[in-house]
Structure 1
């Protein structure tokens, strides 16, 4: 009679071989899955700069959505168009020393700081500086011709300013052929 061990031995060899093949296939599948999983994971990972850019874009999208929601909630503001009138540069000149003189028919005197303005070129200011002595003399004559009542209040100062402007322009026209002074200002105005 044959031993049981002799009969079972070819079946064990056959079963052991199938197990080894299945384990080999399973190992290959496990390695391949790990390899492809690693590729998939590394393809999904972003560099830090890409992550920052993505966050910035997301913040911009959120801000735009908030702005749209706010715009729908409030009435929209419309900017007013600026009229297309030409704008000129204004130049100023202030006489370094104040003018002091008596007022007409009064014991009181007035001390004024005087400034001039023009929107013409710098040659007007140069002309004023060149002829400052003659212009100061003319302005003193005009101021001393005003009474205390005539220079009181805003209207009185406006009349005095207009008279001084005319006197300065008259002097510049006589000396240079062109006036060009457009306004006279009083940085200081003291009446005593």
Structure 2
């Protein structure tokens, strides 16, 4: 009978050892799977994440905003092309003591003939948006050189924004005031 008990103990011992072995194997496999998944995640996020993130950002921009075909800037050795937004702009200022007004002539410059054609096509919209911009100015701001330069920058942004919205391109490189009177 002692032998039978020894056998039972051995069977129970083997069972405990095999269950411990199974547990260890399961833990090792789990660690390898988690480690492999973590390594793969690290690889795709860190090593390829920059390109993937840029692709996702570009895709999201296409979804959220209308597609705008931007013209590439031409080399500076190509001659500039000019077009005027005639007639001259005339706007008045609100001032309590004096009637004040501003008159400006505006020329746009690009090196791309297609942009000049788009400016001519959308000239009424461009004039409207610039007229709104000019009429929102304060007399005290536009009589200084810094104020005029700031107005030039705002005008360039407005022109390119309007062309991008309407024609699907921008490319006006500069706005010039060829006549400027503020009284």
TM-score band by shorter chain is: 0.5 to 0.7
Moved over 6 A (4+): none
**Deviation (angstroms), 1:179:** 1.3
Match of 1:90 among 58, 80, 83: 80
CA RMSD of aligned residues (A): 1.7
TM-score between both structures, scaled by the size of structure 1: 0.52
Structure-2 separation of matches of 1:149 and 1:183: 24
- Which segment drifts farther, 97-106 or 123-132? 97-106
TM-score between both structures, scaled by the size of structure 2: 0.55
Alignment length, in residue pairs? 107
Name the counterpart of 1:115.
107
1:103·1:143 contact (CA, 8 Å) conserved in 2? Answer: no
Match of 1:151 among 142, 152, 173: 142
Q: 1:99 to 1:86 in 2, by over 3 A?
A: closer
Structure-2 separation of matches of 1:150 and 1:136: 21
Name the counterpart of 1:135.
126
**Deviation (angstroms), 1:156:** 1.0
Larger Rg: 1
Match of 2:169 among 168, 173, 178: 178
Name the counterpart of 2:182.
191
Structure-1 separation of matches of 2:78 and 2:94: 38
Q: 1:109 to 1:91 in 2, by over 3 A?
A: same
Runs of 5+ consecutive residues of structure 1 not aligned to the other structure: 1-84
Runs of 5+ consecutive residues of structure 2 not aligned to the other structure: 1-74
